[in-house]
């Protein structure tokens, strides 16, 4: 449901991309993704695999020098960087905090960090092996192959944790070697505890979806239904600006409005800016008491700027949001045209 303080004039032909049919917008989006797919894939390869590839190449070069101090320094630097990257990706929500922007971003971040972590644990294992710090089962491995072999072992353990698919067994893939002492076992425990387990949790939440806060749900709905609009969050986490075709709508988001005090303060704060208004205002709530709604609608009717109210739940279709945003943008366009005609009439007089 929605209500507004203004009503678009009959026969208003203010152009707006959102008035096109949904199939046309779907076709345009599909064509855009087909065009962008090769560039996206190359970007994914660069972002996900380049960090790990660089780490492996640096480690291989280090082991070729056969300088113990340099090997220790490089491996220590890689381990410190891995700890920082894991903290960045997984701690306190990490990549999951980006879910409101879609699943692609957290997937890329998790995969990039995991690839880098595999390379780093491989470097540490290789250093311990060549210096006699751990024992393996599967025969001696030369210095020039040890980094590749240890990388394969950690990738095998990573793949082997994928549930249901049983990838390693189905592909008849055996690890390059197995650890024979506690040091190697501790490395595997650390790898699984600090990399694999957080990755499994992140993957589960990414593909299952995370319960979003109401402001995040509104933001996602606007971006989903208005793909050409520029949406940016303002200083207040519950306020955003939606710019489309040069017209702006300031969107305030509130949930469970029982009294009118808070929404009235927000409305009066924007109305207090004074004319000329080059934007519209939309208040979005997921629930509002009847008395509060009456007072809010009265205030919206009094303000000089184009304004509206939408009561929308995140489990509903986003169509009411889109329709009200379009109505408000059309009202801004109508007012701009009327103001231009008034100025022209004054100049002509």
How far is 255 from 120, CA to CA, in rounded Å? 46
Q: In this predicted structure, what is the pLDDT of residue 45?
A: 60
Are 209 and 106 in contact by the 8 Å Cβ rule? The answer is no
CA trace torsion 160, 161, 165, 168 (10° rounding): 0
* Token pair belonging to 40: 């996206």
Run of H or E including 211: none
* CATH code of the region 2-16+214-348: 3.40.1350.10
Q: In this predicted structure, what is the pLDDT of residue 132?
A: 86
pLDDT, one tens digit per residue, over 265-320 is 888 887 666 666 778 889 999 888 888 888 889 988 888 888 899 998 887 888 88
Q: In this predicted structure, what is the pLDDT of residue 62?
A: 82
Domain ranges in the chain with CATH number 3.40.1350.10: 2-16+214-348
Q: In this predicted structure, what is the pLDDT of residue 4?
A: 44
Q: Tell me the three state secondary structure of residue 241.
A: strand
Phi/psi for 304 (5° steps) reads -80, -20
Q: Where do we find the tokens 């629930």?
A: 287
Q: In this predicted structure, what is the pLDDT of residue 25?
A: 57
Low-confidence ranges of the chain (pLDDT < 50): 1-20, 92-93, 95-101, 210, 346
Q: In this predicted structure, what is the pLDDT of residue 1?
A: 43
For residue 107, give the nearest of 207, 197, 37, 191 by alpha carbon.
207
Sort residue 327 into left (φ over 0), alpha (ψ -120 to 50) or beta. Answer: alpha
pLDDT, one tens digit per residue, over 145-163 is 888 888 888 888 888 877 6
* Token pair belonging to 258: 């029982």
How far is 60 from 146, CA to CA, in rounded Å? 9
Q: In this predicted structure, what is the pLDDT of residue 38?
A: 63
Q: Tell me the three state secondary structure of residue 180.
A: coil
How far is 258 from 185, CA to CA, in rounded Å? 58
CA atoms within 13 A on the CB side of 212: 19
How far is 170 from 179, CA to CA, in rounded Å? 23
Are 260 and 292 in contact by the 8 Å Cβ rule? The answer is yes
How far is 112 from 106, CA to CA, in rounded Å? 10
Peptide bond before 4: cis, by omega within 30 degrees of 0? no
* Token pair belonging to 303: 């303000």
């Amino acid at each position: 449901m929605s209500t507004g303080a203004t009503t678009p004039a009959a026969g208003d032909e203010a152009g707006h991309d959102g008035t096109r049919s949904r199939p046309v917008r779907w076709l345009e989006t599909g064509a855009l993704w087909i065009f962008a797919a090769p560039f996206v894939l190359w970007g994914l390869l660069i972002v996900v695999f380049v960090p790990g590839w660089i780490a492996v190449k640096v480690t291989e070069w280090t082991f070729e020098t056969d300088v113990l101090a340099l090997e220790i320094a490089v491996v220590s630097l890689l381990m410190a960087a891995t700890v920082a990257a894991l903290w960045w990706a997984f701690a306190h929500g990490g990549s999951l905090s980006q879910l409101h922007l879609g699943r692609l971003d957290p997937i890329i971040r998790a995969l990039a960090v995991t690839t880098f972590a595999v390379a780093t644990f491989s470097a540490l294992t290789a250093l311990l092996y060549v210096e006699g710090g751990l024992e393996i089962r599967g025969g001696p491995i030369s210095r020039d192959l040890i980094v590749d072999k240890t990388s394969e072992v950690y990738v095998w353990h990573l793949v082997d944790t994928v549930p249901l698919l049983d990838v390693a067994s189905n592909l008849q893939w055996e690890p390059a070697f197995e650890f024979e002492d506690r040091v190697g076992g501790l490395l595997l425990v650390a790898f699984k505890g600090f990399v694999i387990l957080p990755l499994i949790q992140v993957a589960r939440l990414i593909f299952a979806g995370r319960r979003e806060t109401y402001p995040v749900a509104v933001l996602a709905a606007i971006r989903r239904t208005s793909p050409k609009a520029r949406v940016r969050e303002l200083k207040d986490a519950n306020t955003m600006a939606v710019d489309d075709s040069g017209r702006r709508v300031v969107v305030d988001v509130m949930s469970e409005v029982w009294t009118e005090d808070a929404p009235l303060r927000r409305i009066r704060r924007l109305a207090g800016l004074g004319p000329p208004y080059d934007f519209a205002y939309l208040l979005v709530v997921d629930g509002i008491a009847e008395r509060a709604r009456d007072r809010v609608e009265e205030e919206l009717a009094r303000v000089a700027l184009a304004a509206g109210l939408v009561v929308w739940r995140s489990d509903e279709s986003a169509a009411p949001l889109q329709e009200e945003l379009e109505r408000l943008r059309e009202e801004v366009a109508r007012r701009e045209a009327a103001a231009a005609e008034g100025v022209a009439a004054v100049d002509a007089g």
